[in-house]
């Protein structure tokens, strides 16, 4: 059974840093791209960042570029998101999402974690 579990969320002050993690099991993690998608309270879905299977291709939304860094450790079947210079508008539930195919052109998600809540507030 595929499982994706996020952790590391919490309450931080504006300008501070936080790292959220995602641990996967039940599938060949090392073969699939992984992404972060967030959802602000009561709002819609917003794509944040994605990383290819071998970390050779990394993309970011403009809203987080230069502040967030995505990485992965295939040996540990883990995905990370280092978030620096956090802003109030970064407050959201952060989902770890598994890209459904190994094709770099087909980036949609068939498995999602339950999310980890990041709250940025003074």
- In the complex, which residues of this chain contact other proteins (CB under 8 A)? 35, 44-47, 50, 59, 61-62, 95, 100, 105-110, 112-115
The residues, ordered by sequence, that sit 6+ positions from 22 with a Cβ below 8 Å of its Cβ are 4, 5, 6, 7, 34, 36, 78, 79, 80, 96, 113
Identify which of residues 105 and 122 has a Cβ nearer to other proteins in the complex. Answer: 105
Identify which of residues 41 and 122 has a Cβ nearer to other proteins in the complex. Answer: 41
CA distance linking residue 63 with residue 99, whole number of Å? 21
Contact criterion met (CB below 8 Å) for 31 and 24: no
User: CA geometry: angle at 35 spanning 31 and 40, to 5°?
Assistant: 160
Identify which of residues 45 and 88 has a Cβ nearer to other proteins in the complex. Answer: 45
CB of 19 to other proteins, least distance (A): 21
Write the burial class of residue 26 (CB in 10 Å: 0-12 exposed, 13-18 middle, 19+ buried).
Answer: exposed
CB of 59 to other proteins, least distance (A): 5
CB of 91 to other proteins, least distance (A): 17
CB of 39 to other proteins, least distance (A): 9
Identify which of residues 58 and 71 has a Cβ nearer to other proteins in the complex. Answer: 58
């Amino acid at each position: 059974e595929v499982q994706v579990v996020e952790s590391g969320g919490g309450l931080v002050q504006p300008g501070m840093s936080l790292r959220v993690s995602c641990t996967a099991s039940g599938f060949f993690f090392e073969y699939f791209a992984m992404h972060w998608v967030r959802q602000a309270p009561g709002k819609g879905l917003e794509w944040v960042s994605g990383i290819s299977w071998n970390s050779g291709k990394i993309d970011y939304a403009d809203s987080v570029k230069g502040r967030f860094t995505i990485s992965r450790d295939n040996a540990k079947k883990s995905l990370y998101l280092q978030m620096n210079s956090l802003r109030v508008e970064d407050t959201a539930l952060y989902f770890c999402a598994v890209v459904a195919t190994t094709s770099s052109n087909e980036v949609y998600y068939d498995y999602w974690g339950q999310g980890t809540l990041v709250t940025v507030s003074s």
